Amino acid sequence: MSSIFSLFNTLLVNPIINVLVIIYQALNFLRIPYSLGFSIILLTIVVRLILYPFTNSQLKASKKMQDLAPHLSNLKNKHKGDAKMLQQETMRLYKEHGVNPAAGCLPVLIQLPIIWALYSVLQKVVGNNVHQVVSDVNNIIYFNAFKLTKPWDQMFFGIPLGQNPSQLIGKVGFIILLVPLITGLLQFIQSKMMFTSQPKPQNNQNNKEDFSSAFQKQSLFIFPIMIGFFSYTFPIGLSLYWNTFTIFGILQQYKLQGLGGLNEWIKKR
Amino acid sequence: MKKILFFLIDFYQKIISAILKNLLGVNKFCRYTPTCSEYAKISIQKKGVLKGSYFSILRILSCQPFFNK
């Protein structure tokens, strides 16, 4: 198990830390204030740009499959009990409508370790023992020229990136609650855009499927609340990463398919 | 053993799957019907734990761009 972790570190975490420090040093060189915070934002954008093609093809396929959902449930009724036939017909339907069945789910899952790696990088970077962080980071840096010579300033517009809202609430006041609120809200917007409500398939749905889809619907609300709560207990630096990540996702989704599920709400008003 | 696996698959289908979809910002990413998890349930039920799991893993691994039947 520990060898898996060290492989994960060598392949993903350490390279990402190196990129982060290069960005940081560049910003420092340009004398940009709050360079650590901006480095986190830029790093997230860089990673999102690398993931862009993966996410894009996924979003497209996902949209098409959602459009085809009614056809699929028709097929399911037609070929009940004949799994092989159903599979063939499904593939044919996908082909007809230009869904790329070659994409599959593994390209999506590639994103997971990267999200996790970014998380552990930032967990390291915003550690509170600044001198320890500097020596840890310097051990990982590939090029001597980029090594940190002094601890970085953790302040970002007056808020220390290494502390979490629950610690800061005493010092900064209730305004810090905006961080978990905004984090949850952005997450909600992204999820809402993603799920366009579908016309209900008419006949015999069994209970189990009903439960799953009900949870799916509720997760639209549960997940943002969960994320908001996490960001209340996680260092601000991590929220900065996650929100940049989400905003990029929202923009990418918007560019590709407009407001999506948000449309229903905006039209109502 | 079967019961544990079924419980895990159920847990995945009901909770993990929804969380993953939210996290990754996609809402449908199965090229197969039934989905892999549903398939795993059926094949474990029919063929037993070992063979069923083996087929299920093969099926999950086949869900990528370099696979052709």
What ipTM did this prediction achieve? 0.74
Per-residue model confidence (pLDDT) at position A248: 92
Per-residue model confidence (pLDDT) at position B28: 66
Helix axes A207-233, B17-24, angle to 10 degrees: 50
Q: In which band, very low, low, confident or very high, does the pLDDT at A122 lie, cut at 50, 70 and 90?
A: confident
pLDDT in tens, A201-217: 444 445 555 666 676 67
Which domain range does residue A253 map to? 2-268
Interface touch A212/B32, C-beta < 8 Å: no
> How many folded domains does chain A comprise?
1
Average pLDDT over residues A261-268: 70
> Any CB–CB contact under 8 A between B4 and chain A?
no
Chain B contacts in chain A segment 31-70 (CB below 8 A): 55, 58-59, 61-62, 65-66, 69
Per-residue model confidence (pLDDT) at position A6: 85
Burial tier of B7 (Cβ tally within 10 Å: 0-12, 13-18, 19+)? exposed
Q: Is pLDDT above 90 for A38?
A: yes
> Any CB–CB contact under 8 A between B7 and chain A?
no
Per-residue model confidence (pLDDT) at position A162: 83
Q: Is pLDDT above 80 for A23?
A: yes
Q: In which band, very low, low, confident or very high, does the pLDDT at B67 lie, cut at 50, 70 and 90?
A: low
Q: Looking only at Cα atoms, what is the longest distance across chain B?
A: 35
CA distance A87 to chain B (A): 6
Cα Rg, chain B, nearest whole Å: 13
Q: Which of B15, B20, B24 has the most A C-beta neighbours within 10 Å, making it the best mutation to test the interface with A?
A: B24
Burial tier of A51 (Cβ tally within 10 Å: 0-12, 13-18, 19+)? buried
Long-range contacts of B40-48 (CB under 8 A, 24+ apart): B40/B5, B40/B9, B41/B6, B41/B9, B44/B2, B44/B5, B44/B6, B45/B2
Alpha-carbon distance values, A200 to A4, A13, B38 (Å): 44, 44, 21
Closest-CA residue in chain A for B14? A212
Average pLDDT over residues A38-60: 87
Residues of A in contact with B20 (CB under 8 A): 112
Q: Which of B13, B22, B30 sits opposite A105 (nearest CB)?
A: B30
Interface touch B27/A66, C-beta < 8 Å: yes
Q: Is pLDDT above 80 for A3?
A: yes
Query: Could you tell me which residue, A194 or A47, shows the higher pLDDT?
Result: A47
Cα Rg, chain A, nearest whole Å: 22
Mean pLDDT, chain A, whole residue set: 81
> Any CB–CB contact under 8 A between A98 and chain B?
no
What is d(CA A42, CA A24) in angstroms, rounded to the nearest whole number? 9
Which of B4, B62, B28 is closest to A69 using CA atoms?
Answer: B28
> Any CB–CB contact under 8 A between A194 and chain B?
yes
Q: In which band, very low, low, confident or very high, does the pLDDT at A244 lie, cut at 50, 70 and 90?
A: very high
Please calculate the CA angle A204-A215-A79 and round it to the nearest 5 degrees.
Answer: 30
b/e map A22-44, b = 16+ CB within 10 Å: bbbbebbeeeeebbbbbbbbbbb
- Percentage of residues of chain A with pLDDT beyond 90: 15
Tokens of A88: 């063939």
Interface touch A112/B24, C-beta < 8 Å: yes
What is d(CA B48, CA A67) in angstroms, rounded to the nearest whole number? 36
- Percentage of residues of chain A with pLDDT beyond 70: 88
pLDDT in tens, A72-108: 778 777 777 777 777 777 777 777 777 765 566 777 7
Dihedral sign from CA coordinates of A15, A8, A106, B14? negative
Tell me how long chain B is. Answer: 69
- Is the distance from CB of A190 to CB of A146 less than 8 angstroms? no
- Highest-scoring range by mean pLDDT, A123-137, A183-197, A237-251, B6-20: A237-251
